[in-house]
Amino acid sequence: MLRRASNAEIPGPDGGLFARHLKAYEAAPAEYLTWCNREYGDVFRFDTDVVVVNDPVLIQQVLVRTNRDAVPNANPLRGGRFPGAEQTGRWMRARQEALAVLRPAALPAHLPSVSRVMETDLRALEGEWFDPAEQGWRFCLRAFLSLYAPHPSPQLEDALMDSFTVTAAASLDRVPNWWPSRARRRIEAADQRIRDRISSMLDGDAPPENGAAPPTLLHILRNAPEPVPSDVAHGAAGMSALGAIGTMGGAWCWLLYYLAAVPDAFERIRGEVSASEWETVCVAPELALPYTYSFLLEVLRVRPPAWLLGRDTIADIMLGAVRIPAGTAVMFSPYLLHHDPRYWTDPDRFDPERWNGDERPHVPHAYLPFSSGPRGCLGAQLGLSVLLLAAAQLATGYDLDVPDFQQIGTEFGPVLLPTGMKCRLTRRPAAASG
């Protein structure tokens, strides 16, 4: 018989916000959540209004109810949780507008320009030691922006980077929503610059687009049959770009890490790419470069950049035999799912070959590098294509040096990142002469 439960009745560690369990979590987030999962089960209370779920079927139930019984965890520095129906409607309209260039069918026409931007940015990194986390955010943002406008302004790029950087840093602060702070003022200032630049581009300050090139998001918004409200246009461009920076920047770091850490795989990718047709890569990368594609899937399994996600309930929901009250933050971790031996065989082993069989290598819903449901990652397919193009360019054009692997750690922050990692790209002689 199903029972009604308050959050206090759901098993979990004792104590509130400043209790000992919070310090244990901050010291080793993934290890502590794994311990709680073993100790309390697949649905456990982490705090008075925070519940963690580590069952793929239950997580999927939460995700498919997004916009109905739950909403995405909003930035706590800007208005708190629980947006209303009107705000949710605007978000969904913005997503629909952005889908015009982000849907899989639209990507082949755009990927050549994305590839050219990435080639230029990789050349700029040649020969110098760099921290991939410091370079990855802007590297991925510039690749994405080529879908938004034919000549995105440096001011828009800088405003997006500033907004992402300060928001990521501020997400670590535990201050009340109403408390004034320098971080909040910086976020608001960066957001205003984003809106100003997008408005200027929409109002006609952008150069005309080449009619032979695929339409960018700017062109679609400016030429919509019905006028697009300014807040929807800002959301379509700004929201989707900001959402991509963290996930794709983190994935870029781990791509470099595993290319260097598994040299045999790097050589295999190099041979596969050299024998492929780039036109086919842009149309169906998973078919043109099957091993490289499997390699990327495995990178995102072992090190999912969005390692901790969540939804806020706006209605009571049932998770198994437990009722989760409205007003609860339901959190789940793709990282925990991807390393759980109940759902994967030998999950701690990096093995791209696991993706090459006829059967999927996991139980249903246990692979969530980009979330899922109505508010899943808008640019998931684009992200995979960008990573695949980056792997292809790195393999054919460069030798990659990453020293002192034993000193590289993992930071479980807003984005999963390697720490203490340095890279150097050296142009391959054959690529340089070509």
Query: In 10 A of CB 385, how many CB atoms?
Result: 25
Q: What is the pTM of this model?
A: 0.87
Cα of 210 vs its chain's centroid, Å? 31
* Across 305-323, average pLDDT: 89
% the chain with pLDDT above 90: 37
Residue spans of alpha helices (H) in 103-239: 107-125, 132-145, 154-170, 182-200, 217-222, 230-234
% the chain with pLDDT above 70: 78
Q: What is the reported pLDDT for 80?
A: 46
Q: What is the reported pLDDT for 163?
A: 75
* Across 282-290, average pLDDT: 74
Per-residue pLDDT tens for 130-173?
A: 999 888 888 888 888 888 877 777 877 887 887 777 766 655 44
- Evaluate if residue 357 carries a pLDDT over 90: no
Q: What is the reported pLDDT for 431?
A: 60
3-state secondary structure of 251: helix
Cα–Cα distance measured from residue 414 to residue 182, given in angstroms and rounded to the nearest whole number: 19
Question: 127-141, 343-357, 361-375 — which is least confidently predicted?
Answer: 361-375
Q: What is the reported pLDDT for 14?
A: 75
Cβ–Cβ < 8 Å for 201, 217: no
Given the DSSP bridges, would you call strands 329-332 and 50-53 parallel, antiparallel or unpaired? Answer: parallel
Q: What is the reported pLDDT for 30?
A: 94
Question: Mean pLDDT score of the chain, rounded to an integer?
Answer: 81
* Across 317-335, average pLDDT: 91
Cα–Cα distance measured from residue 330 to residue 375, given in angstroms and rounded to the nearest whole number: 15
User: Which residue, among 222, 251, 272, has the nearest Cα to 100 in the 3D structure?
Assistant: 222
* Across 221-232, average pLDDT: 76
Domain layout of the chain by residue ranges: 7-433
| CATH architecture of the region 7-433 | Orthogonal Bundle (1.10)
Per-residue pLDDT tens for 174-190?
A: 444 444 456 667 667 77
Question: To 10 degrees, what angle do helices 263-274 and 380-397 make?
Answer: 90
Q: What is the reported pLDDT for 363?
A: 92
Cβ–Cβ < 8 Å for 62, 319: yes
Question: 85-94, 228-237, 409-418 — which is least confidently predicted?
Answer: 85-94
Cα–Cα distance measured from residue 243 to residue 245, given in angstroms and rounded to the nearest whole number: 6
Cα of 413 vs its chain's centroid, Å? 13
Cα–Cα distance measured from residue 295 to residue 378, given in angstroms and rounded to the nearest whole number: 22
Name the DSSP letter for residue 202.
I
Per-residue pLDDT band at 110 (split at 50, 70, 90): confident
Cα–Cα distance measured from residue 135 to residue 24, given in angstroms and rounded to the nearest whole number: 31
Per-residue pLDDT tens for 199-224?
A: 777 776 455 555 567 888 878 877 77
Q: What is the reported pLDDT for 151?
A: 75
Task: Tell the burial category of 2 from Cβ atoms under 10 Å away from its Cβ (0-12, 13-18, 19+).
Answer: exposed
Cβ–Cβ < 8 Å for 306, 246: yes
Question: 127-136, 186-195, 277-286, 291-300 — which is least confidently predicted?
Answer: 277-286
Regarding predicted confidence, which is higher, 370 or 84?
370
- Evaluate if residue 373 carries a pLDDT over 80: no
User: Which residue, among 400, 381, 380, has the nearest Cα to 391 in the 3D structure?
Assistant: 400
- Evaluate if residue 355 carries a pLDDT over 90: yes
Element (H, E) at 51: strand 50-53
Q: What is the reported pLDDT for 188?
A: 72
Cβ–Cβ < 8 Å for 326, 313: yes
Cα–Cα distance measured from residue 332 to residue 380, given in angstroms and rounded to the nearest whole number: 19
